[in-house]
Structure 1
Amino acid sequence: MTGPTTGPTTGAAEPLAAVRRRASAVLAAAGVASPERDVELLLAHVLDVRLGNLALVRSLEAPQAAELDALVARRAAREPLQHLTGSAAFRHVELAVGPGVFVPRPETELLAGWAVDRVREAGEQPVVVDLCTGSGAIARALADEVPHARVHAVELDPDAFTWAQRNLAGTGVDLRQGDLADAFVDLDGTVDVVVSNPPYIPLEAWESVAPEARDHDPHLALFSGDDGLDAIRSLVGRAAALLRPGGHLGFEHADEQGRSAPAVVVADGRWSDVRDHPDLAGRARYTTARLAR
């Protein structure tokens, strides 16, 4: 099945402004949330230029226009933008992403920043564990920003694990394939920070999930039981075993779970300083706590 195109791609070079307008209209009609920005990023990818240098480009040659047409058609079909470009920016690093791995979202950068701050405070040889690492985004950010830290990461899904291997190669991160429920038993009681972006979408919310995630992200990274909290319950228990007394836990959750996610931590009974934090849009986004001394 063929998708929509931005227009004819044969003949002479076409003014870039006209290409942008037409491509943006196609994406807007398809319901893409940020059509103009997506077109800019696709153009930068096709032209192999930095985003800021697009202002220097005046026209698009026919072969480049044809490539852009194909990418716009795929994006209009709600294929993730990052799958089309092959990369995703996350804090100060670029990650390779594609089919089979959860695409890291900007809101997770706040949780990663919290983890960076806590690890920096933890001494000369801090130990941090990233459970459900996916593409390796949080672990890679930690290794990049706190190079003296001992970073460990685990991922269950085989395809996602392959992407994490690629993104964490040469970083010194101890990456393992396995379940968060029994990961890193050799580190029990020695970890300073446990951080995670676990699956947290309720199974009943299937229809409400954006097509980019529902149809392209691995379901293992999205859905977690009837209330979306199954993985978080397991995470809280495992973190309590991994952390030293006073160690920190931080994990992401859905914006509707601003009360129910912290309640899981409180109900466990082993935690202090349980707090929930908003994202930049003011939505409840991640929970933090400390293992009671």
Structure 2
Amino acid sequence: MNLLLAEVAQAAQRLADAGVPSPRFDAEELAAYIHGVKRGELHSVADSEFDARYWEAIARREAREPLQHITGRAFFRYLELRVGPGVFVPRPETESVVGWAIDAVRAMDVAEPLIVDLCTGSGAIALALAQEVPRSRVHAVELSEDALDYARANVEGSKVDLCQGNALTAFPELNGQVDLVISNPPYIPLTEWEHVAPEARDHDPELALFSGEDGLDTIRGIERTAHRLLRPGGVVVIEHADSQGGQVPWIFKEDAGWADAADHPDLNNRPRFTSARKALP
């Protein structure tokens, strides 16, 4: 075993002792980042090339600073995104939400689907949809100036139309025309603050995490925004906490103009997002 692999093994144990959920992966990812190689190439780093900055990075992760803040990058579906303090780090769970949305859009008989991403954060969702549904027209909105800086950098050169604003009042010029509204909004109840993982609680912006006593305040607002934006038959898909499974579909009521409201599981078979269709007249 070369020096770097031995150090990675020690680092993984340190991270495990600190309660980091994926200690081996994080130890390897930091080693690859510091040494400028891929994780599968760690064995190729000569002992003389070992960089002591690795242990500085491990100490930061040991203190529960997010891996993505240390590396400045996050991977989401087929994307590599710039992230850091001030923007919500996209999670793997959201990839299944986007996958469902892509399938829903592809199933529509629409030549150039019109898509709106509310609370875009880093721009991950909007950019993934623009990339994987090439003929789509994607609009995204973010309230936070800090997050918007990252989103601007990430969507630069893409066809995503990005603006700053309130998700609940955004894009009035698109009323009644949108095929898909998608959002990963804040949904953590204020009462759950102390139970949130340190990586999120201490580093993700509160604006992207918490939304009222039951966590559903923003989702209730997005329900009305989605109904305003969507054409009849258009679809909304919105992420929520697994503990909120069964609650969110009830927000998209038939008497409020919705049909087919339902929860969907993530890769761990936990309820992760709700979809609904704007009822036909």
TM-score higher than 0.5: yes
Pairwise CA RMSD of aligned residues?
Answer: 1.3
The answer to whether the 8 Å contact 1:119/1:127 transfers is: no
Residue in structure 1 matched with residue 16 of structure 2 by the alignment: 28
Residue in structure 1 matched with residue 211 of structure 2 by the alignment: 224
CA distance in 1, matches of 2:127, 2:152: 11
The answer to whether the 8 Å contact 2:5/2:43 transfers is: no
User: Which deviates further from its counterpart, 237-246 or 44-53?
Assistant: 44-53
Residue in structure 1 matched with residue 267 of structure 2 by the alignment: 280
Q: Deviations over 1:20-62 (max 9, x none)?
A: 1211111111110111110010011011112222233353635
1:73-222 equivalent positions in 2, closer than 5 A? 73-122=59-108, 123-222=110-209
The answer to whether the 8 Å contact 2:14/2:62 transfers is: yes
The answer to whether the 8 Å contact 2:258/2:277 transfers is: yes
The percent identity for this pair of structures is 57
Q: Deviations over 1:246-270 (max 9, x none)?
A: 0000000001000111111127621
CA distance in 2, matches of 1:60, 1:28: 27
Q: Deviations over 1:151-189 (max 9, x none)?
A: 000000110011111111110111010011100000000
CA distance in 2, matches of 1:139, 1:268: 30
Confirm whether residue 19 of structure 1 aligns to residue 10 of structure 2. Answer: no
One of 250, 255, 270 as aligned partner of 1:263: 250
CA distance in 1, matches of 2:167, 2:45: 48
Structure 2 unmatched ranges of 5 or more: none
The answer to whether the 8 Å contact 1:16/1:60 transfers is: no
The answer to whether the 8 Å contact 2:5/2:42 transfers is: no
Structure 1 unmatched ranges of 5 or more: 1-13
Which residue identity does 2:40 align to in structure 1?
G
User: Which deviates further from its counterpart, 147-156 or 265-274?
Assistant: 265-274
CA distance in 2, matches of 1:19, 1:96: 27
CA distance in 1, matches of 2:76, 2:255: 32
- How many residues in Structure 1 have an aligned counterpart in Structure 2? 278
SS in 2 for 1:171: coil
TM norm structure 2: 0.96
CA distance in 1, matches of 2:138, 2:147: 18
Confirm whether residue 67 of structure 1 aligns to residue 53 of structure 2. Answer: yes
CA distance in 2, matches of 1:199, 1:73: 29
Confirm whether residue 40 of structure 1 aligns to residue 32 of structure 2. Answer: no
Residue in structure 1 matched with residue 44 of structure 2 by the alignment: 56
The answer to whether the 8 Å contact 2:4/2:42 transfers is: no
SS in 2 for 1:21: helix
Q: Deviations over 1:199-222 (max 9, x none)?
A: 000000000000000000000000
CA distance in 2, matches of 1:125, 1:37: 40
CA distance in 2, matches of 1:89, 1:116: 18
